[in-house]
Amino acid sequence: MVRAQQGSTVTVHYIGTLDNGRIFHSTPDEEPLVFTIGQDQVFPALERAVVGMAVGETVNILIPAAEAYGPRLPENILRVDRAHFPAEKEIMVGQKLSIGFSGGGERVMLIAGITETEVTLDGNHPLAGLDLTFALRLDGIE
């Protein structure tokens, strides 16, 4: 029986859930996750879980926040003067904006709060600080 190993290209279907049971992502039947073990294309903990599996096997794994998107970092929260946004531009909490930084860097940030004088932007990944559970099924090995 062939088992996944370092260098194998694998096809996986999964359902990802949070501690409260909410599904944060899943792979549709027609769009499985395909990655090569050892190429840093997915979380290392996900690669480790697949190593040794055979086609058709399933496993549930918990990836702690530190091994997924890391902790929520306060330095990724910016408070910007409302005057930096065009008055005619409607902005709303929950909206994502691409923000350019001096030096040429760019980052997508979430509008986390708005007052008359200030806009709070959150550059943390939406899943930062959260443990992730994956129900995996290995569907193919190349």
Q: Around 59, how many Cα atoms within 13 Å sit in the side-chain half-sphere?
A: 18
Taken in order of first residue, the domains within the chain and their CATH numbers are: 9-70+127-141 (3.10.50.40), 74-122 (2.40.10.330)
CB contact at 8 A, 76 and 125? no
What's the confidence (pLDDT) of residue 102? 82
Tokens, residue 53: 């599996």
pLDDT tens for the chain, residues 1 to 142: 899 999 999 999 999 999 999 999 999 989 999 999 999 999 999 999 999 999 999 999 999 999 999 999 999 999 999 999 888 888 999 999 998 888 888 889 999 999 999 999 999 999 999 999 999 999 999 9
User: Is residue 137 exposed (0-12), middle (13-18) or buried (19+ Cβ within 10 Å)?
Assistant: middle
| pLDDT value, residue 86 | 86
Please provide residue 28's backbone torsions phi and psi, each rounded to the nearest 5 degrees: -65, 155
Q: Any idea what the Cα angle at residue 30 is, between residues 26 and 32, rounded to 5°? A: 50
End-to-end CA distance of the chain: 13
